[in-house]
Amino acid sequence: MAFVGEKRRGHPAAGALAAAGLWLLLSLCAGVLGGCAGQTGNGPETVSESGGPETASESGGPERISESGSPAQSEDGLTRMLAASVKITAGGLSGSGVVYEEAEDGLVLLTAGHVLADVTADGEADCSFYDGFEVSCQEFWVFPEADCAFLRIPYEALPSDWRERYRAAEKDREAFDSLEAEEGVFLSDPENENTFGYRFALLLEKWIYVEDFGQYMMLLNGEAEPGMSGCGVYDEDGCFLGILCGENGDKELAVVPYSAADAVYTQLP
């Protein structure tokens, strides 16, 4: 399946993707505690700050990843996931994202297309990494049909030691292809301040047509909160599986699969 993307420098496409049916997009109204109108949830459970990862609450709150040392160099897959996690704020919306590729001319991030739906004509996207480093991005491509967006940050805009601090999400097509229903997966979770953690979910369907999004997607059973749109989904080894796009209020989560996102990525110049 081919998607046609539009390169933007702060110019949203007319008719940008909007939620349909019962699915809720999980971008967060910036500065509004608890999310946009029509979105529910009281925010993640508070967890202990001693060490990590730690046991999450039984209500499905996030587990916390320890921030000691460099996650980019960790041997643990879920800790490495932290090094690929970003928060993205654009216009009046905020969501999550993934460091997708270390390209020749910059670090490429992936997020849900609707996270960039509120960018003004002369706007930009503000990206925040797990360690608090923030950078503005003026170059991005939006693919409304796939609900994907890619952002490119020039290397000169990053810290000189960025390779030691951040890394692209691990992509293993064999691991993705071998994924089966009923397996557990993990969602990166930006929580509610400048910290990152993860949530557990169960894979219901690896490839199912979701009419409201007009495309084939992965379907999970789990919990998510506003602000998690675009967050990465991973297997237990930390291999990237896709990005979260929405939930239907019945603990069913719609995910753009890695295979679909990668097909879109190949269309970038």
pTM of the complete model: 0.78
The pLDDT of residue 161 = 94
Q: What's the CA gap between 79 and 162, in Å, rounded? A: 17
The residue ranges of every structural domain in the chain are 1-34+76-269
SS in 3 state form for the chain? CCCCCEEECCCCCCCCCCCCCCCEECCEECCCCCCCCCCCCCCCCCCCCCCCCCCCCCCCCCEECCCCCCHHHCCCHHHHHHHCEEEEEECCEEEEEEEEEEECCEEEEEEEHHHHCCCCCCCCEEEEECCCCEEEECCEEEEHHHCEEEEEECHHHCCCCHHHHCCCCECCHHHHHCCCCCCEEEEEECCCCCCCEEEEEEEEEEEEEECCCCEEEEEEECCCCCCCCCCEEECCCCEEEEEEEEECCCCEEEEEEHHHHHHHHCCCC
Look at the block and give the residue holding tokens 């967050």: 231
CATH 2.40.10.120 fits 1-34+76-269, yes or no: yes
Enumerate residue ranges in the chain where pLDDT < 70.
1-74, 120-122, 191-195
Write phi, then psi, for 259 (nearest 5 degrees).
-60, -40
The pLDDT of residue 27 = 60
